[in-house]
Amino acid sequence: MSEIRFPLPDVGEGLTEAEIVQWRVAPGDRIALDQVFVEIETAKSLVELPSAFEGTIAELLVEEGQTVDVGTPILVIRTDAARGISAEPAPSAPAADAVPALAVESEGAGAVLVGHGSSGPTRSRRRRHPSPGGAHEHLVPPSPTDVPATSASAAAAPAGGASVGIGEPARPAERADDGMPVIAKPPIRKLAKDLGVDLSRVTPTGPIGDVTRDDVIREASQASVFRNIQTPELPADRETRIPVKGVRKVIAQTMVQSAYSAPHVSVFVDVDATRTMEYIKRLKASPDFAGVKVSPLLIMAKAMIWAARRNPTANAQWTDEEIIVKHYVNLGIAAATPRGLIVPNVKEAQAMSMVELATALEQLTLTAREGKTQPAEMQGGTITITNIGVFGMDTGTPILNTGEVAIVALGTIKQKPWVVDGEVRPRYVTTIGGSFDHRVVDGDVASRFLADVASIIEEPALLLD
């Protein structure tokens, strides 16, 4: 048996430090292969570090909330089986007995997380073992029709208080108001858990009295509104001091860099979005979109892709030496999360069908809300949407995402008086605002780009051209 010191790895971003957010283990705990043992925060994302070894936790060397440099030892593991790649041996252990851990040493760099960055030849195949309390406890069991009834796999506990085992039907929780059982499929229970929705308080609209995806999302939206209108009591302390670190530090640096390096120019246009709302209603009723969230953001995303193809310099990058025009669209979606603002992007969005794009947007949103967006998902963006309409805002002047030259804000869509054929009628109206890097995008291009986006919102049928 020997001890090793596990160094904080570079998770493939090239960053130099990270904050220890939450330990998933304690001294004396057994740690299993692939078990998540710590959450770290860096570059505006939470990253879970899985274990590439088995053993016992001897000591935690860093406290939660502390920021440490890459390569700094963060815990000591006592183990007797070499299962990973090289790690820094503890002083008390002979170098020859040092047990491989999760990090690898790459030439000219520090430790790199397995699966990211540099890689070397594989020494041996690792056999995966399920472990209670490990990373596998976060997996959602498939529906009973997907797995034989004889399966002896461990059960997972979904939201709503029901215990669901793989290969057995869900045991529904009782509804809070009338004691009736809650009927919901495992994916719906996971969605409810992700959004913090109590299934016993959701009114089901499914064909057999089951809770649907729309039911959960509607309940989550209502709960969010009620939380927003609650007025908390003033704290006893006269001031609250918040350290500038982690997400907030990165946001501040990025916003300052963008605002003071790229000369912003902004334009706005009011749009009749009535046909978009009608189109969304038809898509929701289509069997092709069953189980997929459809919202104005989907049409906006398609409009951005279409407008970028017609105005290529809006989908570009400035490098001082040259302008790089991108002939692909990695569409960024600004997302407000409990940990701060992040901008993950949908890779190769221009090649996606409407259903594929809707699915990708939904997954991106759920992952961001869970705080599990990975660094790679926020890199390589080419153009961005910020949907401020979800907060009831009409418009705004968004700041460019660093490295991009265009960002468009979608305002709230609501009924307003609108002149149609010389008559004032109630129509669904929104305001679209765009900010552009004036070094790359001239005023006429910015105006044409935003006009193209507006034309799709006014008439989605143009997407069929």
Residue boundaries of the structural domains of the chain: 2-113, 159-227, 263-464
Q: Which of 385, 418, 404 is nearest to 295 (CA)?
A: 385
- Residue 61 burial (10 A CB sphere; 0-12, 13-18, 19+): middle
- CATH 2.40.50.100 assigned to domain 2-113? The reply is yes
Q: How many CB atoms lie within 10 A of CB 107?
A: 6
- CA torsion sign for 126, 128, 132, 135 is positive
What CATH number should be reported for the domain whose range is 263-464?
3.30.559.10
**Does residue 288 sit in helix, strand or coil?**
helix
Going by C-alpha positions, the residue among 151, 218, 142, 241 that lies closest to residue 187 is 142
What is the reported pLDDT for 201?
83
Can you give the pLDDT at residue 119? 39
Q: What is the pLDDT of residue 304?
A: 97
Query: What's the confidence (pLDDT) of residue 123?
Result: 40
Distance CA 366, CA 362 (A): 6
DSSP 8-class letter at 366: H
Q: What distance in Å separates the CA atoms of residue 450 and residue 434, rounded to the nearest whole number?
A: 7
- pLDDT confidence of residue 306: 96
Catalytic residues: 438
- 3-class DSSP state of 2: strand
Instruction: For the chain, report the end-to-end CA distance as a whole number of angstroms.
Output: 68
Integer Cα distance of 433 and 442 in angstroms: 16
Q: What local confidence, expressed as pLDDT, does residue 158 receive?
A: 39
Write phi, then psi, for 357 (nearest 5 degrees).
-70, -40
Handedness of CA 63, 65, 67, 72 (dihedral sign): positive
Report the pLDDT value the prediction gives residue 173, as an integer from 0 to 100.
52
d(CA 353, CA 142): 26
CA-to-CA distance for 334 and 342, rounded, in angstroms?
A: 6
pLDDT given at position 291: 84
Closest CA to 13 of 66, 52, 84, 70: 70
Instruction: Please tell me the predicted confidence (pLDDT) of residue 70.
Output: 85
Cα angle 286, 288, 294; round to 5: 70
Could you tell me the fold of the domain covering 159-227?
Dihydrolipoamide Transferase (4.10.320)
CA dist 202 and 222 (Å) reads: 11
Give me the helices (H) in 230-312, please: 246-261, 274-285, 296-310
Instruction: Look up the pTM and report it.
Output: 0.58
Contacts (Cβ under 8 Å, ≥6 apart) of 359? 292
Q: What is the mean pLDDT of each run of 10 residues along the chain (465 residues)?
A: 80 72 89 83 73 81 87 83 46 40 39 40 40 40 40 38 38 52 78 81 85 82 56 81 80 86 94 95 91 92 96 94 95 86 94 95 88 86 94 91 95 93 94 96 95 96 81
